[in-house]
Amino acid sequence: MKIKTISRGEDFARERSGDIFKVQRNLDPTLHPFERAREYTRALNATKLERLFAKPFVGALSGHIDGVYCMSKHPTNLSTVLSGSADGEVRIWSLTSEETVWSARAHKGFVRGICSVPFSNRFFTVGEDKTVKMWDRESTDPLNTFVSNASFSGIDHHRNQNIFATSSHQIDMWDHSRAEPTQSFQWGAETITSVKFNQTETNILASCGTDRTIILYDIRTGTPISKTIMALRTNAIAWNPMEAFNFTTASEDHNCYTFDMRKMDQAMNVHKDHVSAVLDIDYSPSGEEFATGSYDRTIRIFKTREGHSREVYHTKRMQRIFCIKFSMDAKFVLSGSDDGNIRLWKANASEKLGITTNRERAAKNYSQSVKERYKHLPEIRRIDKQRKTPKAIKQAGQTKRTMLESINRKRDNERKHSKPGSVPYEAERKKHILATEK
Amino acid sequence: MFAQKRGAKRSSSGDTLQRRPNKQRKIAGASSKPSARDTQRGGPSSATNNKGKGKPNNKGKKSIYDVYEASDAEEEERRVLARRGGGGGSADRVMDLIDNFEFEGVEIDEEDDEELDEDEAFGESDEEKYGMFFDNKSSKKSKPQTSMELDLNEDDDAGEEDEEGDEDEDMDDDDEEYDSDEVMDLSDMLNDGKPSASSSKSTSSKSRGIDDVLLPRDADDDELEDIGEGSSDENEDDDDEEGDEEDEEVDLEVDDEGAEGGEESADLTSFITSLDGRKPASTAPKRKPKKETTEAFEESEYNLPARNTYTNTSTATKLELTDLMGAISGETSFGGLKKQLEGLEKAKKGKFGTASAPLPKRVQDRHEREAAYEQSKKEVTKWARIVKKNREAERLELPTTTAAIPAISSGGLASQFKASTDMEKEVQQILQEASLVDSKAREAEALELNRIDKEELIERRAELAKMRSLLFFQEKKQKKIAKIKSKAYRKIHKKDKGKEDLSLEELKALDPELARAEMEKLDAQRAMERISLKHKNTGKWAKQMLGKHIDTETRRAISDQLEQHEALKRKIRGIESDESESDLADEDEDEGPDTARENALKALGVLEREVEVAQGERPVKGVFAMKFMQRGLEAQMKESREEVRKAMEEMEDEEMGGSEGDSGNEEEEEEDAGAGKLVAQNSGRMVFGGAGGKKGVKPTTTAESEGSDDDEEMDQDTAFSARASGPIRIGASQPAKTVKVDSIFPVQQFELEEPTDNVFIGNANKRQLQPEASDVKPAKQTSKPTPITAKATSFDAPATEETFTIDKRPTRRARGQQDDEAEADNPWLQADDDSKPVKKSTKMVSDKNLGKTERAMEKLARERKSARKAELEEGVGNVQLSLGGIKELEQRIDDVNSEPALPTSKSAPKPAPKPVLRAESSDEDSDVEEAATSKMVHTTELKNLSRRELLQMAFANDDVAAEFEGEKEKAMELDKPKEEDLTLPGWGSWGGTGVQPKKRVVKAPKPGEGVEVEKRQDAKLKHVIINEKRMKKATKYMVPQLPHGFDTLEQYERTIRMPLGKEWNATSQHKEVVKPRVQTKIGHVITPLTLPGSNSGNKRKGAGEGGPKKGNPRPRKL
């Protein structure tokens, strides 16, 4: 009787690990039938594995005694993150070692804003003590202190000039070397809560105020240029770094709105999923997605052109999130919360960190693309969408849905029983924008 | 805050001013709108509201009923206070001011922003404090309307002297009805409440006229519309369109009056007030003057500007310019000032127009903002292209890789080196002394790089790299080629090389010298070949090989050798034959003994070429253009080529045999004999029977160049060989029916007679022979009646002369017949078409020579034709194999043949059928005949059938259509919604009298269950059955609904059609397909987008074109 054994050729043994062992393939389609069914199975497996390996939490940076209310990433240095807390302390963190490398008592009371200067070690902080302070990492004393008569609520630095903007009851433009603001903008007398420079079209600013307005300014013409009044207050603004004219706002009404600054009468997209006010927002430097932190104690990651989040992060001990940042390589998300911790998350929950071999990468790419291709199929869709959220959030979501449904139902009934056209349909993208002013 | 308000008021028109207090604090919410509207209506209740609204501003600081009333006067008050050091005003008041100051710029919380009732606002305590100012409060309380009116007018500037003051004083349309109360000025109240002069009314109305001129109503409206609800420094405005409309409705009549002019309105107002039953304030002083006055007027900060200096009484009369300037009229100086005053006077009278007042700051700001917004929009739109490109990009790599930084040479690096240690310094010194240090190396390099731009540099580099790689590959290739040991390759390669060279003739034309040399070379080669016999199978190796069992490789090698041999020879021949044929003939003569063989070879060569030519010129049309025909042709060609080659080889063998034998003459003799022998020996073998008519011609063409001696030989043998074709002679054995044709009739002439018929060869030979043929034409005509011998179309041709002699007329007829046959298209019989020409050719014979056979055949053909027609007419239904006719034909042929064919060979009686069978009958046996006849019957029969008939025959018993119908019906039945009988047998079917039989329990089909016959997808499709059942297993591969972003299902399907995996794609393709759209690298900073060529980007931005740029060329790692 002849026994067939699996044997390998003489040349199987590689001399060194780098040698390529060539696998011969036969592309004859008769040898590879049922391609769709097979790829579907692969997609399904990829989806399941992705969920299985979803471990987004990387680490926590603890040290602040009070809640972290503002954070800044360094625009040119990946490992540096600055944070300010409610007790007036400012810390600089090294992300590689996950520890504080610099700290100082910067302000009396809240540190309301912090921003770092590109290509340098300097940074600015503003606080409720009506001062702006310029710091250098070399010393724990401020290099300079600018005093104002109003308490500040936010600060942001120009991308490539020595200019920064602060917000109080008005927007002030400051120069590094001048004690007084060089320019001031005011349109309305309400408090402005946040100010952000456009990172691409660098001379444009956006601010949001307590009077539910979003105001745009242009520092070249020295005037505010547009004002939009929303139904509820806007808490934060983030400019899309890859699309000069688009920005997204984090609103008190649990939603985020993406705007085209040229057409402010309607939002480009409404991003929904949070169940409480969205407190901060930051764009991924790739411009493809953004992260939001909310009062509902969750972080969500949205794709820029999609209405619902692709990811939600939460931990048991994480409190209200007041500030959130996307790392400059688009791979990590940092969140600062009320509990005084800064948490570091992966932007893609199941992504492997560290060195990947070529084959690994190829396999990952393949499974990703197969998954992407079959994402509409029911089973894959279900598994991919499923997220486990805390009970409170889930319930809140359900309640919210019920409420909205009931409102809509009522509206429908009204419409049904009144003269045609008297109860108009309202576009979701316009509904929340009350007015635009000139 | 106050300052702001004041400024705003001053700049705005009277219209707005009147409303301002009403809207002062309505900033907070959307709810403000309706109330704003209320105020406009101007009804009493709303007025109360207004008043309330005006107040919360100061709530908490002081319950000021009069903050607004005093609003503008307040400044005055402050001024006075400052002047007097706090005299006159209470301490509270001072505090107020301070408080107000503190409030500046701070927004008011919403809870503070409530509407307050007038009564609440002005509490008891306030009354105590400020009662003195409001002596008429009690009366006010009794007449709330009045108080409200007062309130409305409260922002009249008691102290304003200028025009603006007038404006303020001026009434809005809404408030016109309270005009009478206007007189009840704040100043009035504060002072003795003396009646204001009626003149003030007239002034106000007059100034109103001015106001209308200065600020046309339209402008006002515009402005009002543009005021935002949220703006807090300005008053909340009510002038959304609705408000305006209402406004107009209310004030319609007033508007008209306003347009008419001051006096009328004044009249009207007085009329209205009289209707109200109230007395004009001016006529009813509310306060008694004080008995004792130490001052000319009561000491107050309010009464200073309002006081009439002339009369020393405090009235509402404004301080006029004349009041101030009256004093200078008497003076002699101040000429310039006087002139100015005059100008002013004139302007007042309307002689010169005044410059229009600048637009209010708010409006200006708004315009500015709008313009700036437009500008910013435009600025920002320049990114649109890049953004769009990036969004639509198939792949986006972030951060984008910048162009490689030019490497610095070692020299450049060394120049940067700074010696630090002693030893290094020493070395440096030595080097410097030896002048080996090029400190400028790096700079020089940089300069070199600077000179060209980056793009150019990249381009250049790319080009260089390309060139280098090309060179490298070329080199590699050369090396590879040099290594090749295969002789075959070398041979082919050499040939290729030769091809590139010029042909000998071309060379001759260009350079005769060189051509000569070349020819000599070739000649030498040929000589060498002849001498060495290098490429014959006589070599040691070849012999060995031949002795052994030959495998394909070896055989090929041997044949290659032979080929080369031939080629070498042919080369020479090629040149020489080109020169001229006669030359050749001469040479032949000269050459003497060698000639015969040489000639034969030549003839064969020509033959071969002809075969090739024939192959080259393929018919484009007709039957012969069909593929299978051509395939057949090719096979034939191949065969013939083989044949020719064989012949040549044999000839050469012969020669070789000769050469082996001895030298010189002997050899020649032998050769000669061999040649003769060859002809004799091969008489049977050399006939190209297999090739049919086509080949038959070829020998004839060669005959031209043949000597006449060959003919004699031919005569002797009556053999018909390739060599001996020549003009065909009819042997002595057939004297009766043939006329002897001599050599005057060249073969060409024969061919001329049927060039169209003889399709096979016709094409090949026609061109060559045409000119000669034309020469012969008259001869042909004269010889028309004479029999022409047919060329050999088959191997047994020599014996069939008489059978080939056929008239031309029948030929034509036969052609007609063929056409008819063509009509009955029988796909399986197309192959037989090639027999036609041959068939025709067999019929070529003069009338005289028309044999019985032919006649019989013709007749038969006609009969057959008619029979077939009848059959066709009968229809296709009854097809039967009617062999009768053919049998008959056979019979007749036999009959006919029996008489004349007796003397001829037995192959005679089958001229017609033979071509039909030609394809199969390559066997040269004489007993082909029997087989042929039997086969012939069949094929002829088939030929007679039409396509339809054949199909019917083939599928005689298949009733597929009916079967299908049945199947479909069954499927329909199965899929129909069905009722289900739920009756249980036995149950309910009780017996007995009076028992009513129970109804059947039937379950009706649920809606959506089953498919109605007429609703089936295949209801209208006759030949299709579509399965209507849902396949449960397939559902998981189906999308429940069309995904977002796709318009049609096909579109979606298309996106998922091609699999992505390695098993179905080439590796490179697979890699490309699975790449993620946006690729990012961990640890690499992605800088925001920068515009190409702009400095707005990063400080260290890299140059390049659009797309996201990585500003920082060297991203720092984490």
The number of folded domains in chain A is 1
Q: What is the pLDDT of residue A382?
A: 95
Q: What is the pLDDT of residue B487?
A: 84
Q: How far is A3 from chain B (nearest CA, A)?
A: 30
Of B404, B448, B413, B450, whose CA–CA distance to B1113 is shortest?
B404
The answer as to whether A39 is a domain residue is no
**Chain A CB within 8 Å of residue B57 CB:** no
Q: How far is B178 from chain A (nearest CA, A)?
A: 33
Tell me the backbone φ, ψ of residue A294, rounded to 5 degrees.
Answer: -130, 165
Residue B660 reports pLDDT greater than 80: no
- Provide the pLDDT confidence category of residue B146 given band limits of 50, 70 and 90: very low
Q: What is the pLDDT of residue A95?
A: 94
A104 vs A83: CA distance, rounded Å: 11
Percentage of chain B lying above the pLDDT 90 cut: 8
For the whole prediction, is pTM greater than 0.80? no
- CB distance A365–B383 less than 8 Å? no
Dihedral sign, Cα of residue A387, residue A389, residue A391, residue A392: negative
Kindly list the residues from chain A whose CB atom is less than 8 angstroms away from the CB atom of residue B383: 200-201, 243-245
Kindly list the residues from chain A whose CB atom is less than 8 angstroms away from the CB atom of residue B1083: 78, 329, 331
- Provide the pLDDT confidence category of residue B653 given band limits of 50, 70 and 90: low
- CB distance B1083–A204 less than 8 Å? no
Write b or e for each residue in B483-508: b if 16 or more Cβ atoms lie within 10 A of its Cβ, otherwise e. eeeeeeeeeeeeeeeeeeeeebeebb
Q: How far is A299 from chain B (nearest CA, A)?
A: 21
What stretch of H or E contains B398?
strand B396-398
Reported as a single tens digit per residue, the pLDDT across B174-223 is: 444 444 444 444 444 444 444 444 444 444 444 444 444 444 444 344 44
Residue B1024 reports pLDDT greater than 80: yes
The answer as to whether A38 is a domain residue is no
Q: What is the pLDDT of residue B613?
A: 63
Q: How far is B29 from chain A (nearest CA, A)?
A: 9
B469 vs B82: CA distance, rounded Å: 92
The answer as to whether A392 is a domain residue is no
Q: What is the pLDDT of residue A188?
A: 84
Number of CB pairs, chain A paired with chain B, less than 8 A apart: 219
How many residues does this entry show for chain A? Answer: 438
The answer as to whether A154 is a domain residue is yes
B 208-237: CB under 8 A from A = 226, 228-233
| Pick from B365, B1064, B1085: CB nearest A32 | B1064
Write b or e for each residue in B800-821: b if 16 or more Cβ atoms lie within 10 A of its Cβ, otherwise e. bbbbbbbbbebbeebeebbeeb
- CB distance A434–B390 less than 8 Å? no
Mean pLDDT of chain A: 93
Reported as a single tens digit per residue, the pLDDT across B92-144 is: 444 444 444 444 444 455 555 444 444 454 555 555 555 555 544 444 444 44
Q: What would the mean pLDDT of A19-24 be, rounded to a whole number?
A: 74
Contact B1080, A329 (CB under 8 A): yes
Residue B164 reports pLDDT greater than 80: no
Residue of B nearest to A34 (CA): B1059
Contact A276, A294 (CB under 8 A): yes
Residue of B nearest to A35 (CA): B1059
**Chain A CB within 8 Å of residue B1045 CB:** no
Going by DSSP bridges, is the β-strand pair B1078-1080/B396-398 parallel, antiparallel, or unpaired? parallel
Residue B756 reports pLDDT greater than 50: no
Contact B1039, B1052 (CB under 8 A): yes
Q: What is the pLDDT of residue B301?
A: 66
Q: What is the pLDDT of residue B481?
A: 87
Residue B159 reports pLDDT greater than 50: no
A71 vs A56: CA distance, rounded Å: 20
B146 vs B370: CA distance, rounded Å: 43
∠ CA(B608), CA(B610), CA(B612), 5° rounding? 75
SS3 state of residue B981: strand
- CB distance B230–A204 less than 8 Å? no
Q: What is the pLDDT of residue B983?
A: 80
Would you give the distance in Å from CA B425 to the centre of its chain?
67
Q: What is the pLDDT of residue B184?
A: 45
Q: What is the pLDDT of residue B58?
A: 41
Pairwise pLDDT comparison (A148 vs B87), residue with the higher score: A148
Q: How far is B385 from chain A (nearest CA, A)?
A: 10
- CB distance A244–B380 less than 8 Å? yes
- CB distance B1039–A200 less than 8 Å? no
- Provide the pLDDT confidence category of residue B557 given band limits of 50, 70 and 90: confident
Q: What is the pLDDT of residue A438?
A: 85
- The residue with tokens 């003057």 is B289
A317 vs A341: CA distance, rounded Å: 10
SS3 state of residue B308: strand
Pairwise pLDDT comparison (B80 vs B252), residue with the higher score: B80
Reported as a single tens digit per residue, the pLDDT across A291-346 is: 999 999 999 999 999 999 999 999 999 999 999 999 999 999 999 999 999 999 99
Q: How far is B359 from chain A (nearest CA, A)?
A: 16
Q: What is the pLDDT of residue A20?
A: 73
Residue of B nearest to A187 (CA): B231
Q: What is the pLDDT of residue A431?
A: 93
Residue of A nearest to B104 (CA): A189
The answer as to whether A23 is a domain residue is no
- CB distance A376–B1043 less than 8 Å? yes
Q: What is the pLDDT of residue B822?
A: 44
Kindly list the residues from chain A whose CB atom is less than 8 angstroms away from the CB atom of residue B222: none
Reported as a single tens digit per residue, the pLDDT across B709-755 is: 444 444 444 333 334 333 444 333 444 443 444 443 333 333 334 43
Kindly list the residues from chain B whose CB atom is less than 8 angstroms away from the CB atom of residue A79: 1116, 1118
Kindly list the residues from chain A whose CB atom is less than 8 angstroms away from the CB atom of residue B105: 150, 169, 189
Q: What is the CATH number of the domain that holds A285?
A: 2.130.10.10
Residue B794 reports pLDDT greater than 60: no
3-state secondary structure chain A: CCCCCCCCCHHHCCCCCCCCCCCCCCCCHHHCCCHHHHHHHHHHHHHHHHHHCCCCEEEEEECCCCCEEEEEECCCCCCEEEEEECCCEEEEEECCCCEEEEEEECCCCCEEEEEECCCCCEEEEEECCCEEEEEECCCCCCCEEEECCCCCCEEEECCCCCEEEEECCCEEEEECCCCCCCEEECCCCCCEEEEEECCCCCCEEEEEECCCEEEEEECCCCEEEEEEEECCCEEEEEECCCCCCEEEEEECCCCEEEEECCECCCCCEEEECCCCCEEEEEECCCCCEEEEEECCCCEEEEECCCCEEEEEECCCCCCCEEEEEECCCCCEEEEEECCCEEEEEECCCCCCCCCCCHHHHHHHHHHHHHHHHCCCCHHHHHHHHCCCCCHHHHHHHHHHHHHHHHHHHHHHHHHHCCCCCCCCCCCHHHHCEEEEEC
Q: What is the pLDDT of residue A109?
A: 92
- Calculate the alpha carbon distances from A263 to A55, B70, B946 in Å: 40, 44, 77
Kindly list the residues from chain A whose CB atom is less than 8 angstroms away from the CB atom of residue B384: 245
Pairwise pLDDT comparison (A277 vs B299), residue with the higher score: A277
Reported as a single tens digit per residue, the pLDDT across B690-702 is: 433 443 344 433 3
Helix axes B14-23, B2-11, angle to 10 degrees: 150
* Sheet order of strands, A89-94 included: A68-73, A80-85, A89-94, A99-105
Q: Which of B251-260, B311-320, B383-392, B1013-1022 has the lowest mean pLDDT?
A: B251-260
Q: Give the type of residue at B18.
A: Q
A253 vs A78: CA distance, rounded Å: 33
Domain that holds residue A249: 57-346
Pairwise pLDDT comparison (B880 vs B449), residue with the higher score: B449
Kindly list the residues from chain B whose CB atom is less than 8 angstroms away from the CB atom of residue A76: 1085, 1087, 1112, 1116
Kindly list the residues from chain B whose CB atom is less than 8 angstroms away from the CB atom of residue A121: none
Tell me the backbone φ, ψ of residue A208, rounded to 5 degrees.
Answer: -130, 145
| Number of neighbours of residue B1086 by Cβ within 10 angstroms | 28
- CB distance A244–B387 less than 8 Å? yes
Q: How far is B1091 from chain A (nearest CA, A)?
A: 8
Q: What is the pLDDT of residue B655?
A: 57
B742 vs B739: CA distance, rounded Å: 9
Contact B1026, B972 (CB under 8 A): no
Q: What is the pLDDT of residue B79?
A: 56
B974 vs B739: CA distance, rounded Å: 85
- CB distance A438–B369 less than 8 Å? yes
- Provide the pLDDT confidence category of residue B292 given band limits of 50, 70 and 90: low
Q: What is the pLDDT of residue B143?
A: 41
- CB distance B398–A438 less than 8 Å? no
The answer as to whether A371 is a domain residue is no
Q: What is the pLDDT of residue B322?
A: 73
B 1059-1078: CB under 8 A from A = 1059-1066, 1070-1071, 1073-1076, 1078
* Sheet order of strands, A213-218 included: A192-197, A204-209, A213-218, A223-230, A433-437
B943 vs B936: CA distance, rounded Å: 10
- CB distance A32–B1063 less than 8 Å? yes
- CB distance A210–B107 less than 8 Å? yes
Q: Look up residue B157 and give its two tokens.
A: 């500037």
Tell me the backbone φ, ψ of residue B1110, rounded to 5 degrees.
Answer: -90, 105
Q: What would the mean pLDDT of B1078-1099 be, rounded to a whole number?
A: 75
Percentage of chain B lying above the pLDDT 70 cut: 34
- Provide the pLDDT confidence category of residue A91 given band limits of 50, 70 and 90: very high
**Chain A CB within 8 Å of residue B384 CB:** yes
| Pick from A39, A218, A225: CB nearest B1061 | A39
B257 vs B254: CA distance, rounded Å: 5
Q: Looking at this predicted complex, what is its ipTM?
A: 0.93
Q: How far is A32 from chain B (nearest CA, A)?
A: 7
| Pick from B107, B379, B1099: CB nearest A119 | B1099
Tell me the backbone φ, ψ of residue A223, rounded to 5 degrees.
Answer: -135, 155
